[in-house]
Amino acid sequence: MSFTVKDIILPLGAELLGNHNINVISNISIDSRSFQNNEETLFFCLIGPNNNGHDYISELITKGVRNFVVSQEQSFSENINYLKVENTLEALQKFASFYRKKFEFPIIGITGSNGKTIVKEWLNFLLSPDYNIIRSPKSYNSQVGVPLSVLGINQQHNLGIFEAGISTVNEMQNLESIIQPTIGILTNIGSAHDEGFENLGQKIKEKLKLFPHVEVLIYNKNKSIDAFLNPNIKTFSWSSSDKSADVLVHHKTYSNKTSLNVTYKKTCFKINIPFSDEASIENVIQCMMILFYFQYDLDTIQKRLALLYPIEMRLKVKKGINNTTLIDDSYSSDFQSLKIALDFLENQKQHTKKTLILSDIFQSGLENDELYSRVSQMIISNKITRVIGIGEVISNYKNKFLNGITFQSQADFLTHFDQLNFENETILIKGARSFHFEEIVSLLEEKTHETVLEINLNALSHNLNFYKAKLNPHTQMMVMVKAFSYGNGGLEIAKLLEYHKVDYLGVAFADEGIALKSNGITLPIMVLNPETTSFEALIQHQLEPEIYSIKGLNAFLKIAKQKQLKQFPIHLKIDTGMHRLGFDEAHLPELIAILKNSKLVQVKSILSHMATSDDIAHRDFALEQIEKFNRISAFICEQLEIQPIKHILNTSGISNYPQAQFDMVRLGIGLYGISNDPNEQKMLENVGTLKSVISQIRTIQAGESVGYGRRFRAEKETRIATIPIGYADGIRRSWGNGLGFVLINNQKATIVGSICMDMLMVDVTTIACTEGNEVIVLGESPSVVLMAAELQTIPYEILTGISQRVKRIFYRE
């Protein structure tokens, strides 16, 4: 985005109060706290129920912001532009609509009562290998969220996916003019926000206002929707019962999976998906319809849908106290979502005993008598052992619940908490936001380590594509996921790599590969350092060993003969100068003689390992290795009359020796956002962020000390924050004593004293913070590269040193 103030006056319908109409605008903001606010920011002073953006103008000016969209009078200020409008929210929407018109690629618009965000995120996952997608972040589907989403479009995008949510009439027209969808998806219509509409029909009519200009509307065909459809809109419908739909879908659920029986264009076929609940099944079908419409082949559709994974929404499963399992749905309470939550409870239960904690139910569209009668029947059908109702309304219907107990308020419940004896049961906590059931969840939740490593899967994808772009069209890629994917988490990353169609995975030891294969990874996996004792397990799980010695080869052939194997894939490691593992030239005659006389194995690849690919000072040595590898591998191929894959380059080799790509390269630490080249480092995205919280803050006086050995002594009154992470979590002791720092509220807090096994202490004297505040231990800053440099080690050691007791959380932005 790049405009001058002069360019946007007319689209905003604004009056310029200022003398700098050539100021450049490259960023839109509504949040005064954003660190992206700068001199090229256009700040919209929105007025909400709790905040008025105009109140932050002075603060923003000190941060360099020079351009504001305002609706309230402002005093003239030199170097400041005020664009005066009647309504700043409407101005934001007008600007987004103006901006959207500058792009002509397909836009998918999604609305409905349930499933918008899931469908959007799944479509992004399914289509991202083929499109550069702009989509709504998180659940940005409101009157403010939609324009902010659309303003994220840039020239690189060629597909948009935006969701639109409304809570009453006369809202959707605004969102339609901003999104301007070319393809529409109408998801499930439920009871959410029923209070904003007179009836179901009015709600459907308002939702459909997103689609007057689409080229096609995808929806679950039913009479209620058909009654309000514009006959001029082309539809592409699906159904499980209406044979007039374009696609018929029936499903059969078993275990935690579902088989979809699909009839499309007079052809019947099956698609297996990794979900069993009705909501997910319906959302998957909506995604499937888009793939049909985009004319994907059946094989691609089947493979991609099988890789879908749950998107974290409001419903979360947590470990509870006294051997309980919690299902946290503590932010909504309507009839439709209760049905979904109870279904989820049935699928996730780990105990025979099932308890439901339920607040008053809102937005049902039913009279209370009928509503709670239906709820009672649902609870009976789901065989709920105990019902705990909280609220004045539900308390009036206590007699409808078998084994039911009610409380007038959450405070009343908390008073009696100890008498309720929660143990050995699954507990569904289902409550409207106004009841603050998160406090109940907190009380029931088992307290665990508050330190987590967040893994950004978007950044992983970006880094993968960065290195892919360096390869010749036919060069294959192996990605190393050894050492728990360099400390980031093996299985989840392997799934992403499989989705991105890399050619091979590499692990160090057989047990790493077995764990991946046992969890459904189908990519070929090479084991770099197989021990002879692991050969049988390796064969059983179809793992491919790297063979680097005559002894190892003979040991493997012996087992292969016992198992009557034929052409089992192996990989030959050649030592070209690393002098760690591999066949020397002197071993070649014996190696070739053995392989010539055996049909038990097939040489799948020949590889070597560069010792100095990251150090240009040793370029001559690296070139000698490449030449030696080329010569020896060619000799082996000639003698054995084979054409295996050849590979020698690692991450830094990909960048520094592109002429030596051979048939495949091995991407390692670069995937995780680390490069030895400072310029290349700028092009990579940070993948892992190690986070914790402040456990306690105390003030010490001059002369007092902190930690073991009294290695820090305060020279003045000092505020000290204790963070629950230490060297047992992977933070080196040498990072303490004033060398290292953490980030609290985007400010550096120096580590003082010695780092302990489970804790470290920082100086927060000049930082406004409280106990419970988030702490960034490692991420964008301080970075892995910085920490490694300060500790005189390498980033590999920092990453792989993060303990597995630190919980990994994977997310996509």
Q: What angle do CA 682, 147, 280 make, to 5 degrees?
A: 85
Alpha-carbon torsion (266, 272, 275, 277), positive or negative: positive
Helix H segments across 215-367?
223-226, 278-293, 298-306, 335-348
> Encoding tokens for residue 581?
């593992």
What contacts 678, CB < 8 A, 6 or more positions away? Answer: none
Question: Catalytic site residue 482?
Answer: yes
Closest CA to 284 of 312, 255, 256, 310: 310
**Run of H or E residues at 438:** helix 438-444
Active-site residue, from 398, 596, 708, 811: 708
DSSP 47-84: B-SS-BGGGGHHHHHHTT--EEEESS-----TT-EEEE
Q: What is d(CA 807, CA 655) in angstroms, rounded to the nearest whole number?
A: 33
> Encoding tokens for residue 275?
């979900």
What contacts 386, CB < 8 A, 6 or more positions away? Answer: 353, 354, 355, 356, 403, 404, 405, 425
DSSP conformation class of 708 = G
Q: What is d(CA 482, CA 800) in angstroms, rounded to the nearest whole number?
A: 10
Question: Catalytic site residue 207?
Answer: no
DSSP conformation class of 228 = T
**Run of H or E residues at 623:** helix 619-640
SS3 state at 508: coil
What contacts 327, CB < 8 A, 6 or more positions away? Answer: 315, 316, 317, 341, 344, 345, 348, 426, 427, 428, 429
Q: What is d(CA 701, CA 321) in angstroms, rounded to the nearest whole number?
A: 40
Active-site residue, from 203, 209, 339, 482: 482
Contact status, residue 138 vs residue 117, Cβ threshold 8 Å:
yes
Helix, strand, coil percentages, rounded to 5, for the chain: 35, 25, 40
> Encoding tokens for residue 357?
């904690």
Q: Which residues are catalytic?
A: 482, 708
